[in-house]
């Protein structure tokens, strides 16, 4: 193995061990948690190396990059997650390679996906910041957007997704997210999943119920230039 592959394997093992320990501490089992490796900025070779180490779920946040990387690795049996802001005119294209879209945040995107001929999984992204310009629906709109997704037969609603704000302790942010998840479940009882937790906060996210971790640099290393 190359030095890079060894480093990748070590970082993956470390994240898996930390995930296991955080699950144990909060009385959860590792099986409840899906690890999504966010491969943005990293080449096809990194995806192949991680797939060889057993990673099955990958995330991307930009359509062009996602499209070329998923095309290039089409021979592998991988699950792709779209985790970035999605323009409604790209939504249907993204749904060709992504089995799950984590960033449903507007009626226009949901309506674009209504025209699909297959079903995909979706998360509603919630804005945890005080700034309305950031990605995600405002908390006051959770029930309305949830209903809208439930009325869209091509989307299976899995739950809520969020990115913790930079200017707040992740504990309080993920605590709010857990409340928002419960609000969503009042309307959509099956939408129990929580997509949260990145390189710098995934153990905290696990303590507050995260089921889908989206981890980039802790596994991929620094961005490849
Ligand atoms: C890049 C990205 C991640 C992973 O970030 P890291 O800090 O590298 O773990 C997770 N979620 C989203 C939406 C991202 O854009």
Among residues 107, 106, 111, the alpha carbon closest in space to that of 95 is found at 111
Per DSSP, the residues of 87-134 read: -HHHHHHHHHH-SEEEEE-SHHHHHHHTT-SS-EEEEEEB--SS-TTS
CA 210 to centroid of ligand 1, rounded, Å: 15
| Ligand 1 atom showing the smallest separation from residue 217 Cα | 8
DSSP 223: P
| Ligand 1 atom showing the smallest separation from residue 61 Cα | 15
| Ligand 1 atom showing the smallest separation from residue 38 Cα | 4
pLDDT at residue 120 above 90? yes
CA 216 to centroid of ligand 1, rounded, Å: 5
pLDDT tens for 81-92 read 999 999 999 999
CA 17 to chain centre: 20
CA 36 to centroid of ligand 1, rounded, Å: 10
pLDDT tens for 183-208 read 999 999 999 999 999 999 999 999 99
Residue from 18, 19, 214 whose mutation best tests the ligand 1 pocket (most atoms within 8 A of CB): 214
CA dist list (Å): 202 to 115, 173, 209: 34, 12, 10
pLDDT at residue 225 above 50? no
pTM value is 0.97
User: Does the C-beta of 198 come closer than 6 Å to ligand 1?
Assistant: yes
To the nearest 10°, report the CA torsion of 172, 175, 180, 181.
150
- Residue 9 buriedness (CB in 10 A; 0-12 / 13-18 / 19+): middle
Q: Which residue's alpha carbon is nearest to atom 10 within ligand 1?
A: 214
Q: Which residue's alpha carbon is nearest to atom 7 within ligand 1?
A: 199
Q: Which residue's alpha carbon is nearest to atom 6 within ligand 1?
A: 216
């Amino acid at each position: 193995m190359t030095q890079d592959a060894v480093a990748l394997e070590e970082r993956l093992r470390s994240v898996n061990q930390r995930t296991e320990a955080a699950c144990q501490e909060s009385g959860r089992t590792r099986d409840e948690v899906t690890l999504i490796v966010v491969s943005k900025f990293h080449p096809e070779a990194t995806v192949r190396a991680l797939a060889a180490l057993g990673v099955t779920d990958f995330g991307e946040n930009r359509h062009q990059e996602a499209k070329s990387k998923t095309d290039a690795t089409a021979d592998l049996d991988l699950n792709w997650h779209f985790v970035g802001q999605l323009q409604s005119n790209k939504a249907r294209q993204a749904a060709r390679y992504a089995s799950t879209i984590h960033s449903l945040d507007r009626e226009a995107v949901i309506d674009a996906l209504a025209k699909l001929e297959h079903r995909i999984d979706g998360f509603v992204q919630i804005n945890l910041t005080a700034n309305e310009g950031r990605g995600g629906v405002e908390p006051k709109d959770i029930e309305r957007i949830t209903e809208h997704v439930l009325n869209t037969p091509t989307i299976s609603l899995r739950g809520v997704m969020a990115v913790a704000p930079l200017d707040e302790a992740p504990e309080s942010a993920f605590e709010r997210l857990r409340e928002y998840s419960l609000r969503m479940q009042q309307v959509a009882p099956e939408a129990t999943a929580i997509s949260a937790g990145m390189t710098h906060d995934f153990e905290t996210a696990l303590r507050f119920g995260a089921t889908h971790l989206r981890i980039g640099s802790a596994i991929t290393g620094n961005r490849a230039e």
